[in-house]
Every structure is written in structure tokens, then in C-alpha cells.
Amino acid sequence: MAEARGHLFASGSTYVRYTDRKWIGGYILLNDIYGRPAMVLRAEMPRAIYEEGRRSQLYFAIAMLVIVLAFALIIDLLLSRSVSSRLEALSFNVERIAKSSDVSARVEFSGRDEISSLGSGINVMLESLQTFQERRQKADEQHRQDC
């Protein structure tokens, strides 16, 4: 009350003070008929709007967290289906061809995107290797015949 009285006399006729997170106090200086300070009127009330705002912030934060997690899961699922699984299949095909050392084998791919372009590039490389190997074999056979 002394703090409120000091503010009221120094700066004006009203003063608002937050007593804690749940309560707010308002003070007003009332003058007598001669214009001199007569009394201080005090009113305390719960901070219902503040509490509702805090509750709304909590609900908003929880809702945002749920939305972000849902989007993260959906994006992970979509990336897994559209990119990761196709890259794994391409890698498996390349590994299979490498283990068999069969340059006549080709990578299977579908679609018209970067992964398909990579598969096509691998097939072109395998075709070049096959052509080189066939030429080398012919050159080796011709060299043997000449000797």
C-alpha cells in the first residue's frame, strides 16, 4: 500500500500493480471537496485474462509441436518412398552387377527424374564397358592369330 501511495502522490491519480501471476491490484487517489488527497481506493481482482492468455499459449505450443511432428513424419514417409527406396534399389542393382562382373547386365529403373537419369547413366557406362571389353577380346584374338 505504501508503494501505491508513493506512486499516486508523485505521478497521478491511478496506479496498477501486479501482485503476482494470479492477482492484480488497482489504486486510485480520491480528493476531498477542496482538491486535497483524501483517501486511496484499492481494488484487487484475479488476472483471468492473463491466465487465459497463458493457457492459450500453452495450447498453441502443443498444437504447433503436434503439427510439426506430423509434417516431419509425413515428409519422412514421402522421402522414403520416393527417394530412399529407389536409391536403395539402384544401389542393390549396381552391387549385384559388380559382384557378378557381368557388364552385359543392366540396371532397372523407372520414371523420369534424377534417379532415373542416374540409372540411365549407369547403363550407358555398362554398355561402354561391354563394348570396350568386346573390342579388347577381338584385339586379343587378332593378336594371338598374328603371333
Do residues 21 and 82 share a domain?
no
Q: Is the pLDDT of residue 130 over 70?
A: yes
Do residues 12 and 78 share a domain?
no
Contact 79, 100 (CB under 8 A): no
Do residues 79 and 106 share a domain?
yes
Q: Give the number of domains in the chain.
A: 2
Do residues 96 and 24 share a domain?
no
Question: Buried (b) or exposed (e) across 59-84, using 16+ Cβ within 10 A?
Answer: eeeeeeeeeeeeeeeeeeeeeeeeee
| Range list of β-strands (E), the chain | 14-18, 23-31, 37-46
Closest CA to 44 of 27, 69, 59: 27
Query: Of the candidates 46, 63, 81, which is a domain's last residue?
Result: 46
**Of residues 144 and 66, which shows the higher confidence score?**
66
Do residues 17 and 74 share a domain?
no
Do residues 36 and 62 share a domain?
no
**Structural domain containing residue 20:** 2-46
Do residues 40 and 67 share a domain?
no
Do residues 59 and 23 share a domain?
no
Closest CA to 27 of 49, 52, 10: 10
What is the crossing angle of helices 114-146 and 85-100, to 10°?
10
pLDDT digits (tens, 9 = 90+) for 71-112: 999 999 998 888 888 888 889 999 998 899 888 888 887 878
pLDDT digits (tens, 9 = 90+) for 29-63: 888 888 888 888 888 999 888 889 999 999 999 99
Do residues 83 and 16 share a domain?
no
Do residues 66 and 135 share a domain?
yes
Do residues 28 and 72 share a domain?
no
Do residues 23 and 92 share a domain?
no
| Whole-model pTM over 0.75 | no
